A and B are shown apart, each in its own frame.
With several copies, the nearest count.
Chain A
Amino acid sequence: MLHLIDKAEVDIYTVSISTITDQYLHVLNEAKAWNMEIASEFMVMAATLLSLKSKMLLPPTIKEEETNDPTEEWLDPREELIERLLVYKQFKRLGDQLEEREAEQNRVYSRLPLDLTPFTPTQNPLTGVEPEDLWKALFALLEQQKEIEQPLTKLAREEISVSERMEQIYQDLVREGELWFSKLMDIDYITRERLITTFLAILELMKLKPVICRQVDLFSDICIRLEQTRENN
C-alpha cells in the first residue's frame, strides 16, 4: 500500500477506495508469475488500507469527541503513515541500488568450477558427513516445505474490481430493495478477496451516498438500502 500511495501520488483523504483497489487488482493481473506471493500480500495491504480508510470515513464524529476532551490526544493515522512511508521510501531507494547492481552483474558471465574429481581419485567426498546429517537435512527440508505449503493450499482467485462489485450490489439493491450485510459477506460462499472487495464496495457506495446502512444494535446485522433521493438515478 505504501508503495501505491507513493507511486500513484495518491491523496489518501480524497481518493476513492475503488481507485486504489482496482489498481491492486491490476497489479495482481500483471504479475502472473508471483500470483501467490502478491495475493497473500494483498490481504494485508487491503486490510491496512481498509482500517485507515475507515478511520477517514468516520472522522467528523470521532474527531469532535476527541478534541472536546483535552486530556486525550487524537492520533492522526496519517502522521504515522507518513513516517512509515518515508522509511519505506528510503529502503525502496536502496532497493533501486541493488537492482542496478543486479543488472550490472547479470551482464557478466563466469564459469563453473572445473570438475576436480579427476584430481582427487582417493578422496572420500563424505568426509565429515555422518549418516545422521542426511536425515537431519531431509527433516529440515520437509519442515520448511510444510511451512511453505500452508499459505499455498487454496486461494481460488476471483478477479473482480471494487467498481464492478459496487455495480453488482447496486443492481441487487435496485432489484431487492434492501440487502443484509451478513448475506453479502457470508464467509462460506465468498473468497477472502471477494470479501474485501465487497466491504470496500459498500463503504464506497456509502460515501458516494447511493446507499445507506442501518444497524439497530451493536453487532447486529446491518441493513443496506438505497438512499431515497438517489433512487431515481
Chain B
Amino acid sequence: MEAKAWKSILEGIIFAAGTDGINVKELAEIVEIPKQEVQMLLNEMQLEWKLDHRGTELVQIAGKYQITTLPEHTVYIQKMAQAPTRVGLSRAAIEVLAIIAYKQPVTRVEIEEIRGVKSDRILQQLERKELIRQAGRAEGPGRPILFGTSRQFLQYFGLNKIDELPSPESIFHWQEWEEDRKNLYERLGVEGEEKVQEE
C-alpha cells in the first residue's frame, strides 16, 4: 500500500481515538507496519497538514497523538461555544442533574439504574461544567465514586442550601399527587423528617 493510503488510515484511527489520543506503538500494532515507518508517516502528516492549511493539526500530547483545533481559530470556536444552543444543558443532562440533586450522594450505577441508559458521558460533561463534584466514595465493592452537586450549582440557581430546591408540594397539588408523592418519597428515601414536619 502506498504512503497516502497509510496516512489516510492513520488519520482515521487518530481521529476516532479522540482526546484519549494514541501512541506510535499502538498505531503500529493496528496497521501492522513497523513503528519507525509509522513515526515517519506521522511526521510527514504533521508537515503536510500545515502546508495544506487544514483546519486541524496533529499534535503529540504526553506521548500520544491526537487531532486538535488550531490556536488561531479560538475566536471562532469561542463564538460557537457561546451560542445559546450550545450553552444550555440537554434534556438528558438535566435528568442526570436532577437525580444527583435529589438523591445525592449517588453513584453512577444508581443514576444509570434510574435512567435505564449509560450516563458516563453526561457525568463528565456536568463535572466539566462544574455543576457536580465528586463527593467521596461509596462503601462496598469497587468503592464507586459518589456524586453531589457543587457550590456553583447552588449559585447558579441562587440557592443557599440544597434543601431550598423545590419539594413536590410546591409544584403539585397535594391531594392530586398524594399517591405519587408517597411513592416518590419512598423511592427517594426521604420519607422521614420532612413528612413529620408537615403533619
Contact = CB atoms under 8 A, between A and B. Distances in A.
A214 interface: no
20 contacts: A40-B121, A67-B197, A78-B189, A81-B188, A82-B185, A84-B113, A86-B177, A101-B157, A101-B158, A103-B88, A111-B67, A113-B19, A115-B19, A119-B74, A125-B129, A131-B157, A131-B165, A131-B166, A133-B94, A137-B98
B82 A123 contact: yes
Contacts, number: 262
Contact of B69 (A9, A101, A109, A151): A109
Interface string B146-166: 000000010011110000111
Interface residues of B, number: 76
A130 B70 CA distance: 37
Contacts of A136: 171
Interface string A35-59: 0111011011100100000000000
Interface of A: 1-2, 9, 11-14, 31, 33-34, 36-38, 40-41, 43-45, 48, 67, 73-74, 76, 78-79, 81-82, 84-95, 97-99, 101-117, 119-120, 123-129, 131-139, 141-148, 151
A103 B117 CA distance: 21
Given A106-B88, A110-B66, A117-B128, A37 B157 contact: no
B97 A95 contact: yes
Interface string B68-91: 111100100110111110111111
A126 B171 contact: no
B27 interface: no
B142 interface: no
B117 A1 contact: yes
B116 A1 contact: yes
B76 to A, nearest CB: 10
- Identify which of A45, A73, A90 gathers the most chain B CB atoms within 10 Å of its CB: A90
A205 B51 CA distance: 70
A101 B80 CA distance: 23
Contacts of A107: 71, 74
